[in-house]
Structure 1
Amino acid sequence: MLIITLILATVVALLLARLLLLRRELGRMTEQLRRYNKRTTGKKIDLTLFDRRLEALAVQINRQSDLIVDAEALRRRTENELRQAIANISHDIRTPLTSIIGFIQLLEAESITPEEKLEYVTIVKNRTRRLQALLNDFFELSLIESSDYRLKTERIGMTTLLTDTLVGFYDRFNERGITPEIRLPKEEVAVYADESAVRRVLENLLANTVEHATGLVVIRFEQHHKTADFTIVNEAKELSESDVRFLFDRFYTVDRTRSAQGSGLGLSIAKSLMDKMNGSLTAELHGGNLTMTCRWKLRSTDR
């Protein structure tokens, strides 16, 4: 009987000691979490007492802390982007609008000649079209990036579509004194995508090339084992690696990367459309040459 009593007393003492250690460890965890939440330390919860359940709890608390930190960083980044977007939109709208108001004031002057009046009216029309294109691009991008925007997937003959699109840009390339080197496959290559979206992507990329390219321009379309790639290579010695990293960012406003429409959203729209079609649009800079590549995944029946 005495032995049983001693055994029970030992067990109770061990349990009490274990309980006291657990209480102390919980107190340490609470204090560490309090200091972390008050930002007095960046140290996460650690344990001095080995207990699988406590360790699992500490892991989950630390993971939750990481999620909170990431969410806060995302919130700050989103707020900064929103402020930058508002500033960019205001600047892009104010520039042509100020010009329009200025020339309208000139038109109100009684001393202008008929020739000057015609010149000012032409300028006002051009600035108005630019402002209209700008607003259309902002509206289109907001639609594309909404969750409700849907694309129609169908089989598209890319070789034919590219040929038709390139013919439409012949005069614009010719006006810039550019003769692009075009490499298209002789056979028809098909992809599954939205035809109007693909055409918009091609037009935006070609418009950007016409506006900013200098020297040699190479345009090619190739079918690989699993993908079909449309690539434009042109000289871009004025661009840096940092420029290229943000080339498709709608908030990036370096003038030399703006699209032909003058809105700075042409490449952003192209990138968003490619993402919606489960494709990709990338840009790389090698030896002063900018390479932009659109890539569509091929279905097994079309390889």
Structure 2
Amino acid sequence: MKKISVKLAVAFIILILLSSLLSFLTSAVYMPNLQQEIKESQEAIGILIKDLSEKTDLSNEEISDIISWYTYETSILTHEEEAYINEQEYLILLDGGMIHKPFRRFSGVSTYLMIDDDIMRIQLRQNQNIWKIAASRIWFPGISFVIIGSVLIIFVVRHAVRPIIKLTNATREITLGNFDVEINYNNKDEIGQLTTNFNRMINELKKIDTLRKDFVSNVSHEFKTPIASIQGFAQLLQQDDLSDENRKEYARIISEESSRLSHLTSSMLKLSKLENQEIIQKHKGFYLDEQIRKCILLLEPEWSKKSIDWEINLDRAMITADEELLQQVWINLLINAIKFSSNDGKIIVSLNHLKEGVEISIRDFGKGMSSKTKERIFEKFYQGEEAHDVEGSGLGLSLVKRILDLHGAQINVESSLGEGSEFSVTLNIN
């Protein structure tokens, strides 16, 4: 396969050759200066012939032989050839003047003068024409131009395609799975823009690769733990001397771990579906405050165990959105608030109108989280140190973030260790 640098160099050299050839043809055909130069040269030869005739005893034939040289030839017209001279031209010759008549094609003109009774003709030799004269004058500059131009073009092309070669090598590395490549090219031209976007693409691919590896690792861990528990307790249930109390306890654990696996699988499927969804498909008008109250009631079994006290301040708000998806948001946020609240704790839920929408705030006074945890809470499967002793899969907040992104909403988190957390969601009304 030919390199692009070779193709470009050959193309440019061919263009130089064609342009040089066309330039030569144009110059030879449309070169009035060369035509005039031929006339002037022949007139100078004619003056020289007259001087030799006047100042020497040489015959016209001898003068013709002497004057004829490499480029021009001088001859005496025969009686038949003199017939081509008309009367007016003949008078000019008798008066000592010179006349010019067209010669062969691309051979310029012939110059005529009269010496004694002979009409002499000065013209280009048979083997000479305008093409040869033009070529003799421009062949060296032309060849030099082609050679120098070709060398410069090869140098320029090699320099121009260098970043493309780097891009090719970098692409090859990416196909091998190596994302630790970067192309340094600081020009602002099209190739510079291409390399800039290419570097951005590499960085994004590197992030995606890191997320993929983390995802596989986390999924493996999340599935491995409950599966190992189910397998272990299932083996214990096979013992003949197992007491009824232990048998029920082991069956309960297996049921809980199975539910955990089912919940984890369901959450992963929902998140996968949402990540491949770009627009909200179900737009419906509903009262947001009523939806949040229903979510709190649905979770009564959870917060009743901890005797959670609620402070609810919800303004009346009608919005248009996907009701089912937003319900998932409030349930996940409320479940987190309940999980991390202590017994007899308190949760504050508020809904306030803003200029262009509404703000929903869910505040708990539980464990809180560190700044490091707060930066990563929306990552898939991430669970901070504060959550290790609390049941969960690390997918709930990832679902929340994706659903809110689809609605064009914003979520903000304020939290400190030992002081609880506050999640604030800003939604457009329409």
**2:156 is equivalent to residue 156 of structure 1:** no
Counterpart selection for 2:236 from 80, 103, 106: 106
Counterpart selection for 2:321 from 183, 193, 196: 193
**2:425 is equivalent to residue 297 of structure 1:** no
Give the whole-Å Cα distance in 1 for the aligned partners of 2:401 and 2:186: 42
| 1:138/1:260 CA distance change after superposition, 3 Å | farther
Please list every run of 5 or more consecutive structure 1 residues that lacks an aligned counterpart in the other structure. Answer: 2-8, 47-57
| Aligned-pair CA distance for 1:60 | 1.2
Instruction: Kindly indicate whether the alpha-carbon contact (under 8 Å) linking 2:366 and 2:420 is maintained by their aligned counterparts in 1.
Output: yes
Structure 2 equivalent of residue 205 of structure 1: 333
Other structure's SS at 1:180 match: strand
| 1:207/1:192 CA distance change after superposition, 3 Å | same
Structure 2 equivalent of residue 122 of structure 1: 252
Structure 1 equivalent of residue 213 of structure 2: 83
Q: Under a length normalisation based on structure 1, what TM-score does the superposition of the two structures give?
A: 0.78
Give the whole-Å Cα distance in 1 for the aligned partners of 2:311 and 2:421: 15
Q: Deviations over 1:220-263 (max 9, x none)?
A: 11111111111112246552222112111114243645897722
**2:311 is equivalent to residue 170 of structure 1:** no
Structure 1 equivalent of residue 399 of structure 2: 269
Give the whole-Å Cα distance in 2 for the aligned partners of 1:294 and 1:118: 43
Instruction: Kindly indicate whether the alpha-carbon contact (under 8 Å) linking 1:236 and 1:289 is maintained by their aligned counterparts in 2.
Output: yes
| Aligned-pair CA distance for 1:270 | 1.4
Instruction: Kindly indicate whether the alpha-carbon contact (under 8 Å) linking 2:351 and 2:360 is maintained by their aligned counterparts in 1.
Output: yes
Farther off after superposition, 59-68 or 283-292? 283-292
Q: Deviations over 1:70-109 (max 9, x none)?
A: 1112112211211110111111011111111111111111
Give the whole-Å Cα distance in 2 for the aligned partners of 1:100 and 1:134: 15
Give the whole-Å Cα distance in 1 for the aligned partners of 2:235 and 2:279: 42
Structure 1 equivalent of residue 351 of structure 2: 221
Show the 5 A alignment for 1:22-41: 23=153, 26-31=157-162
Structure 1 equivalent of residue 44 of structure 2: none
**2:208 is equivalent to residue 67 of structure 1:** no
Other structure's SS at 1:84 match: helix
| Aligned-pair CA distance for 1:123 | 1.5
| 1:175/1:93 CA distance change after superposition, 3 Å | same
Other structure's SS at 2:240 match: coil
| Aligned-pair CA distance for 1:38 | 6.1
| Aligned-pair CA distance for 1:170 | 3.4
RMSD: 3.3
| Aligned-pair CA distance for 1:144 | 1.5
Q: How many residues align?
A: 277
Query: AA paired with 2:323?
Result: E
Give the whole-Å Cα distance in 2 for the aligned partners of 1:226 and 1:297: 6
Other structure's SS at 2:349 match: strand
| 1:103/1:43 CA distance change after superposition, 3 Å | closer
| 1:64/1:292 CA distance change after superposition, 3 Å | same
Give the whole-Å Cα distance in 2 for the aligned partners of 1:143 and 1:159: 27
Counterpart selection for 1:97 from 227, 233, 257: 227
Other structure's SS at 1:109 match: coil
Structure 2 equivalent of residue 54 of structure 1: none
| Aligned-pair CA distance for 1:32 | 6.3
Q: Deviations over 1:10-47 (max 9, x none)?
A: xx99xx7x97997465554445665687689964255x
Please list every run of 5 or more consecutive structure 2 residues that lacks an aligned counterpart in the other structure. Answer: 1-32, 34-137, 171-180
Query: AA paired with 1:210?
Result: I
Show the 5 A alignment for 1:130-149: 130-147=260-277
| 1:157/1:32 CA distance change after superposition, 3 Å | closer
**2:322 is equivalent to residue 181 of structure 1:** no
Instruction: Kindly indicate whether the alpha-carbon contact (under 8 Å) linking 2:183 and 2:199 is maintained by their aligned counterparts in 1.
Output: no
| 1:74/1:65 CA distance change after superposition, 3 Å | same
